[in-house]
C-alpha cells in the first residue's frame, strides 16, 4: 500500500497534534452549547473519532452518508443522501465534520440541505482544505491542513475504497488512478 504513495504530507504525529488544537478550539467556541457533530461518511470517520476525544465539553454525534456522482477523483456536486441523520437538528449548534473540501460543491449541497432544518448555527470542520480548487465560496470554519491540488489518500480518505486505513495522509501516485 505504501508503495502507491508518492509523498507523505502529514504524519500520524502531525495529525494528532493538529487535531488536539482543533479540539481545544472547538471546546472553547462551543462551551455551553451542546453541539451536534455531523460526520460525513465514509471519509470523515477517522477524523471524527479522533476529534471527539479531544473535545472536553458535552456534545453528541450523528452520521450522514452521501455519495457524490462523478468521476473517480472528482465530484460533480450532485449529492445523493444514502443515510440521513437520526437526530433533529432544529435549534441545535451543528458542526459538520468532513474529510476534505475540494471544489466546495459537496459542502454547498449539504449545508443548503441542513439549513432548511433550521439549526441554531451551522459550521464546517474539515480535516483538509484544497482551497485552490474551490468553485463555490464555501468557508471552512475549522480546518486541519491546507493541501495542494493533488489527490490525497489515507487517514479515512480513499481511492476506490482503498487506503483509508493508512495512518498518515499522502499523495497517491498518478499511475494508480491513470491506469486506463
Residues that bind ligand 5GP (CB under 6 A): 43, 68, 75, 77, 98-107, 130, 151-153, 157-159
Question: Which CB, 103 or 111, lies closer to ligand 5GP?
Answer: 103
CB of 56 to ligand 5GP, least distance (A): 27
CB of 14 to ligand 5GP, least distance (A): 17
CB of 177 to ligand 5GP, least distance (A): 10
Task: State how far the Cα of 87 lies from the Cα of 62, in Å rounded to an integer.
Answer: 7
List residues with catalytic annotation.
102
Question: Which CB, 22 or 124, lies closer to ligand 5GP?
Answer: 124
Amino acid at each position: 500500500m505504501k508503495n502507491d504513495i508518492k509523498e507523505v504530507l502529514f504524519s500520524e504525529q502531525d495529525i494528532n497534534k493538529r487535531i488536539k488544537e482543533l479540539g481545544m478550539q472547538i471546546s472553547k467556541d462551543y462551551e455551553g452549547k451542546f453541539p451536534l457533530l455531523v460526520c460525513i461518511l465514509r471519509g470523515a470517520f477517522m477524523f471524527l473519532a479522533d476529534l471527539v476525544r479531544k473535545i472536553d465539553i458535552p456534545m453528541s454525534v450523528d452520521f450522514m452518508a452521501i455519495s457524490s456522482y462523478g468521476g473517480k477523483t472528482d465530484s460533480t456536486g450532485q449529492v445523493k443522501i444514502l443515510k440521513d441523520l437520526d437526530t433533529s437538528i432544529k435549534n441545535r449548534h451543528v458542526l459538520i465534520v468532513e474529510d476534505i473540501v475540494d471544489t466546495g460543491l459537496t459542502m454547498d449541497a449539504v449545508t443548503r440541505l441542513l439549513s432548511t432544518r433550521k439549526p441554531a448555527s451551522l459550521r464546517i470542520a474539515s480535516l483538509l482544505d484544497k482551497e485552490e480548487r474551490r468553485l463555490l465560496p464555501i468557508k471552512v470554519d475549522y480546518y486541519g491542513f491546507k493541501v495542494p491540488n493533488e489527490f490525497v489518500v489515507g487517514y479515512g480518505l480513499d481511492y476506490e475504497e482503498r487506503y483509508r486505513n493508512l495512518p498518515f495522509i499522502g499523495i497517491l501516485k498518478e499511475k494508480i488512478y491513470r491506469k486506463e
